[in-house]
Chain A
Amino acid sequence: MSGSPSRVAVTGVYLASGLGVGTEQVWEAVCAGASALGRCSDLADVFAARLPDAPAAELLIERAGRGALEHAALDPGSLDPHEIGIALGTNSGSEDLWTHYRRAAAAGRAGSAPAAHPAHTCVDRLGAALGGRGPKAVFATGCIASANAVGYAHDAVATGRATVMLVGGYEALNITTVATFASWKSIDSEPTAPYARSGGLNLGEAVAFLVLESERSARARGAPVLAYVLGYGLTSDAYHITAPPPDGSGLRTAMLGALGRAGLAPDAVGYVNGHGTGTPANDTAELNAMRAVFTGPEPPPMSSSKPQVGHTLGACGALEAVLTTLALRDGVLPPTANADGTPPWDVVPRTARRARVDVAMSNSIAFGGACCSLVLGRNGGRPQDRPPKGLSFTGAGVVSALATGRRPFLTALRRERTGGAPDGFRSARDLDGSLRDFIDPRYRPRLDGLGALTVAATRMAWDDSGLRDGTRVGIILATAAGPIGTVELLNETVEREGPEYISAVHAPNIVSSVPAGYATLELGLGGPLAAVSTGDASGLIALGHAADLIRQGQADAVVVVAADDVTDTLARAYGRYGLHGPGPCLPYSRTAAPGPVSAGAAAVVLEATDHARARRATELGTLLGHAVSSGPGRSADAPLCADSWSWALRRALDEAAPGGAGGRGTEAVDVYGAARGVPALDDAELTAVTSCLKSPGTRLTAVAGATGHCQSAGALLSLVAALDGCAGGLPPHTAEPPDPLPGARSYLSAGPTGGPRRALVTAASWGGTYAAAVVGPAGEGP
Chain B
Amino acid sequence: MSTDMPDAELVVRDTVGAVLNTSAAEWPRDRPLDELPDAIYDSLAQLEVLTRVERAFRLPPRPVEPEHLMSIDTIMAMVAGSAPVRTPADTGATEGGDG
Contacts and interface: CB of A to CB of B under 8 A. Distances in A.
A214 B20 CA distance: 52
A441 B38 contact: yes
Counting chain A residues whose Cβ lies within 8 A of the other chain, the interface size class is 10 to 19
Interface in A481-539: 497, 500-501, 503-505, 508
B47 A184 contact: yes
Given A503-B48, A504-B51, A505-B45, A185 B61 contact: yes
B11 interface: no
Counting chain B residues whose Cβ lies within 8 A of the other chain, the interface size class is 10 to 19
Given A185-B61, A445-B21, A501 B99 contact: yes
A442 interface: yes
Contacts of B39: 442
Interface centre among A243, A442, A446, A500 (most CB of B within 10 A): A442
Given A185-B61, A185-B63, A500-B55, A240 B42 contact: yes
A508 B44 contact: yes
B40 A446 contact: yes
Contact of A504 (B20, B38, B48, B55): B48
B43 interface: yes
Nearest to B55: A500
A240 B41 CA distance: 12
B68 to A, nearest CB: 14
A242 B63 CA distance: 17
B14 to A, nearest CB: 16
Nearest to A199: B63
Contacts of B43: 240, 242-243
Nearest to A493: B99
Given A185-B63, A442-B40, A504 B47 contact: yes
A279 to B, nearest CB: 12
Interface in B45-64: 45, 47-48, 51, 55, 61, 63-64
A591 interface: no
Contacts of B19: 505
A360 B28 CA distance: 54
Nearest to B40: A442
Interface string A531-560: 000000000000000000000000000000
B99 A505 contact: no
Nearest to A507: B44
Interface of A is mostly: loop
B22 to A, nearest CB: 8
A721 to B, nearest CB: 36
A508 B44 CA distance: 10
Contacts of B21: 445
Contact of A242 (B38, B40, B44, B55): B44
B44 A185 contact: no
Contacts of A184: 44, 47
A445 B21 CA distance: 7
Given A240-B43, A446-B40, A497-B99, A505 B61 contact: no
A742 to B, nearest CB: 55
Nearest to A442: B40
Nearest to B54: A500
A241 B48 CA distance: 15
A497 B97 CA distance: 12
B40 A183 contact: no
Contact of A183 (B20, B42, B45, B47): B47
A445 B48 CA distance: 14
Interface in B32-90: 38-40, 42-45, 47-48, 51, 55, 61, 63-64
Contact of B47 (A185, A500, A501): A185
Interface string A441-454: 11101100000000
Contacts of A441: 38
A370 B20 CA distance: 25
Contacts of B44: 184, 241-242, 504-505, 508
A504 B61 CA distance: 14
Contacts of A505: 19, 44-45, 47-48
Given A185-B61, A185-B63, A240-B43, A442 B38 contact: yes
A14 to B, nearest CB: 37
Interface of A: 183-185, 240-243, 441-443, 445-446, 497, 500-501, 503-505, 508
24 contacts: A183-B47, A183-B48, A183-B51, A184-B47, A185-B47, A185-B51, A185-B61, A185-B63, A185-B64, A240-B42, A240-B43, A242-B44, A442-B39, A443-B40, A445-B21, A497-B99, A500-B51, A500-B55, A501-B99, A504-B44, A504-B47, A504-B51, A505-B48, A508-B44
Given A242-B43, A443-B40, 6 more contacts: A185-B61, A240-B43, A442-B39, A445-B20, A446-B40, A508-B44
Interface of B: 19-21, 38-40, 42-45, 47-48, 51, 55, 61, 63-64, 99
